[in-house]
């Protein structure tokens, strides 16, 4: 059951081979056994999970179960959960019990999902390795000396080690796709605006987007279908009919020829992604996966994203600018950490923030405040917004010639814990292939494509036009029907 896909779990629950309470117990026991070493969870909610599982069992008995009723899940600790500790990986919120649910959390509750607890993450989702968490680093289940990626590293490690079959995450510059790649699982970041940001603690609001982790594209499709939908409480939520991505996978299966199911699909390979920068073993793995896509009937053409190289500099102006504004709410007054000793009100703010935020968060607040300040705004912030527009235009031009764009998710496999901890710029560069997608607001998916020379997973990234989630998931699903990279499990987690 631990390794079962969501459709297999659904069948087992519906056939009463296992109850939702038993299934939750199985995963909770596994968390008890493996989480002390992995540190993928900040909070394990055994009682809440078992209570939700009892409700799910009643629904199954009454014949009113949906696709996710009784399925266990981990929520990234960026999502507010009513009555449950919600830390965002920070000392600032180490005592914060949310009084309300994020929109995503309430949608999944309605679907009958059983939340096992809250997954570890980089502090305020700022990071690429999960080492900036106040609650300690997460270990990569494939090799405990390596990072799992970030910022949703706890979610990705939990799914890879089968502490949960699926998990939520958020992706501001790559935080779903990059840890999915490093942990050997599938992760999708949808089009900006598809998943409500209400109750998702803000980092950089124009880039933040909720996403889904699962072993396979099919599991991600089932989870994502339940996470999307218009929400009037988020001013950037898109008002459009919700899609059933899992049904779309099944429908495209029925209409495509079995031997060459991707016949007619045009995949663009950005010249700039395949230039220098990618490690040799990653390149060999990605080349082999693209050859597999061709064998399934897809054609490939070269496309160009000439401004993609400017994505990291543009992002590291825009994201800090937005975070400096968003994080001003953490002042020690209304909730969160408050310094024990302070003089006047200004001193209370300063000391609470100095004590509550870690080094990476402070670095970003300082940069953001600087680029927004009088005299620098035009030179940095406005310029970065112009680059953002150019990057988005590059994608639109490339997508005139192809249906999807493919390339590596990351330039290397997961690095050693501590290796880049003192060099933030090296850390930032690990997101070189993912960040442009957020700047453009496009959907992106990472799926397992093989292993590097060190035996660690390599992810292939698919990028589509706005609302191309079904196309991304279908292509990945076809690939996964023909290969078994997504079914490999780390030793010890089998
Ligand atoms: N690693 C990037 C950052 O540190 C992206 C993080 C994210 O997507 N939340 O900002």
Domain 6-255+446-493 has CATH 3.40.50.1860: no
CA of 12 to the centre of ligand 1 (A): 37
Q: What phi and psi values does residue 479 have, to the nearest 5 degrees? A: -60, -40
Indicate which atom in ligand 1 lies nearest the CA of residue 176. 8
Whole-angstrom distance, CA of residue 90 vs CA of residue 133: 6
Among 77, 127, 155, residue to substitute to test ligand 1 (most atoms within 8 Å of Cβ): 127
Active site residue 235: no
Ligand 1 pocket member 173 (CB < 6 A)? yes
d(CA 252, CA 261): 9
Confidence of residue 253 (pLDDT cuts 50, 70, 90): confident
Is any ligand 1 atom within 6 A of the Cβ of residue 322? Answer: no
Residue 78 CA to ligand 1 center (angstroms) comes to 13
Phi, psi of 333 (to 5 degrees): -95, -55
For residue 323, give the nearest of 368, 357, 280, 363 by alpha carbon: 368
pLDDT digit string, tens, across residues 438-483: 999 999 999 999 999 999 999 999 999 999 999 999 999 999 999 9
Name the pairing type of β-strands 266-270 and 299-303: parallel
With a cut of 60, say whether residue 494 has pLDDT above it.
no
Asked if residue 361 lies in contact with residue 319, where contact means CB atoms within 8 angstroms, the answer is no
Name the residue with the closest Cα to ligand 1, atom 10.
126
For this structure, is 253 an active site residue?
no
If one residue of 174, 202, 425, 430 were mutated to test the ligand 1 pocket, choosing by the most ligand atoms within 8 A of its CB, it would be: 174
For 447, list phi and psi in degrees, rounded to 5: -130, 155
Q: Compute the Cα dihedral for 435, 440, 446, 449 and give only its sign.
A: negative
Which two three-digit tokens encode residue 383? Answer: 């310029």
125 lines ligand 1 (CB under 6 A): yes
Give tens-digit pLDDT for 276-300.
889 999 999 999 999 999 999 999 9
User: How many Cα atoms are found within 13 Å in the side-chain-facing hemisphere of 36?
Assistant: 3
Instruction: Say if ligand 1 is within 6 A of residue 172 CB.
Output: yes
DSSP SS3 for 447: strand
Task: Give 485's DSSP letter.
Answer: G
Q: Would you report the helix, strand and coil content of the chain in percent, each value rounded to 5? A: 45, 15, 45
Give me the percent of the chain exceeding a pLDDT of 70. Answer: 99
**Quick check: bond before 151 cis, omega within 30?**
yes
Mean residue pLDDT across the chain = 96
Q: Are 67 and 226 contacting, i.e. CB atoms less than 8 angstroms apart?
A: yes
Q: Which of 76, 118, 139, 420 is catalytic?
A: 76
Over residues 160-176, mean pLDDT: 98
Among the options 132, 151, 196, 252, which is catalytic?
151
Catalytic residue (choose from 175, 181, 237, 352): 175
Catalytic, 151? Answer: yes
Write down the domain spans for the chain: 6-255+446-493
Any atom of ligand 1 within 6 Å of the Cβ of 132: no
Going from the C-alpha of 310 to that of each of 230, 306, 314, 390, the distances in angstroms are 32, 9, 6, 9
For tokens 């998702």, name the residue. Answer: 200
What residue spans of 372-407 are helical by DSSP H? 383-398
- Residue-wise pLDDT tens digits, 28-73: 999 999 999 999 999 999 999 999 999 999 999 999 999 999 999 9
For residue 78, what pLDDT is reported?
98
Band of pLDDT at residue 254, cut at 50, 70 and 90: confident
Q: How confident is the model at residue 452, as a pLDDT?
A: 98
Convert 107-119 to b/e letters by CB count within 10 Å (16 or more is b): bbbebbbbbbbbb
Give the distance (Å) from ligand 1 centre to CA of residue 348: 29
Taken as a whole, the chain contains a residue count of 494
Please state which of the ranges 97-106, 247-256, 363-372, 457-466 shows the lowest mean pLDDT: 247-256
Query: What's CA 246's distance to the chain center, in Å?
Result: 19
What percentage of the chain reaches a pLDDT higher than 90?
A: 94
Q: For strands 210-214 and 186-189, give the pairing.
A: antiparallel
pLDDT one-digit tens code per residue, 89-114: 999 999 999 999 999 999 999 999 99
Closest CA to 116 of 56, 182, 50, 66: 50
Q: How confident is the model at residue 255 (pLDDT cuts 50, 70, 90)?
A: confident
């Amino acid at each position: 059951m631990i390794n079962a896909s969501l459709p297999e779990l659904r069948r087992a629950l519906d056939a009463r081979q296992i109850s939702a309470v038993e299934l939750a117990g199985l995963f909770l026991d596994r968390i008890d056994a493996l989480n002390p070493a992995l540190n993928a969870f900040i909070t394990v909610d055994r009682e809440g999970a078992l209570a939700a599982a009892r409700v799910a069992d009643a629904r199954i008995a009454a014949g009113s179960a949906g696709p996710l009723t009784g399925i266990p899940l981990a929520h990234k600790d960026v999502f507010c959960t009513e009555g449950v500790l919600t830390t965002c990986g920070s000392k600032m919120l180490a005592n914060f019990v949310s009084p309300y649910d994020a929109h995503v959390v309430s949608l999944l509750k309605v679907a009958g999902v059983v939340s096992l607890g809250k997954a570890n993450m980089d502090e305020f989702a700022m990071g690429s390795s999960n080492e900036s968490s106040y609650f300690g680093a997460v270990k990569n289940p494939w090799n405990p000396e390596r990072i799992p990626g970030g910022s949703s590293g706890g979610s990705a490690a939990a799914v890879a080690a089968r502490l949960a079959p699926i998990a939520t995450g958020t992706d501001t510059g790559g935080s779903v796709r990059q840890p999915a790649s490093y942990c050997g699982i599938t992760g999708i970041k949808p089009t900006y605006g598809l998943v409500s940001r209400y109750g998702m603690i803000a980092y950089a609001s124009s880039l933040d987007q909720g996403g889904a982790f699962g072993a396979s594209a099919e599991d991600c499709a089932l989870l994502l279908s339940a996470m999307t939908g218009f929400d009037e409480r988020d001013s950037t939520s898109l008002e459009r009919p919700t899609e059933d991505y899992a049904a779309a996978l099944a429908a495209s299966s029925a209409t495509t020829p079995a031997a060459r199911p991707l016949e007619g699909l045009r995949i663009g390979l950005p010249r700039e992604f395949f230039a220098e920068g990618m490690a040799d073993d990653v390149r060999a793995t990605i080349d082999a996966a693209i050859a597999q896509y061709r064998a399934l009937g897809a054609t490939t053409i070269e496309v160009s994203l000439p401004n993609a190289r400017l994505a990291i500099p543009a992002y590291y102006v825009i994201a800090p600018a937005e975070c400096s504004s968003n994080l001003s709410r953490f002042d020690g007054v209304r909730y969160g950490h408050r310094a024990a000793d302070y003089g006047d009100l200004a001193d209370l703010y300063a000391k609470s923030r100095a004590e509550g935020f870690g080094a990476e968060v402070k670095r970003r607040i300082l940069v953001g405040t600087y680029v927004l300040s009088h005299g620098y705004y035009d030179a940095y912030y406005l310029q970065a917004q112009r680059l953002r527009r150019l990057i988005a235009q590059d994608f639109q031009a490339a997508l005139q010639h192809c249906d999807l764009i493919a390339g590596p998710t990351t330039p290397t496999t997961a690095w050693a814990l501590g290796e880049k901890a003192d060099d933030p710029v090296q850390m930032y560069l690990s997101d070189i292939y993912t960040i442009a997608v957020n700047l453009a607001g496009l959907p992106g998916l990472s799926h397992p494509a093989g292993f590097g020379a060190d035996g660690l997973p390599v992810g292939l990234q698919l990028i589509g036009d706005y609302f191309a989630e079904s196309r991304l998931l279908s292509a990945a699903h076809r690939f996964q029907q023909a290969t078994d990279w997504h079914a490999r499990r780390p030793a010890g987690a089998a």
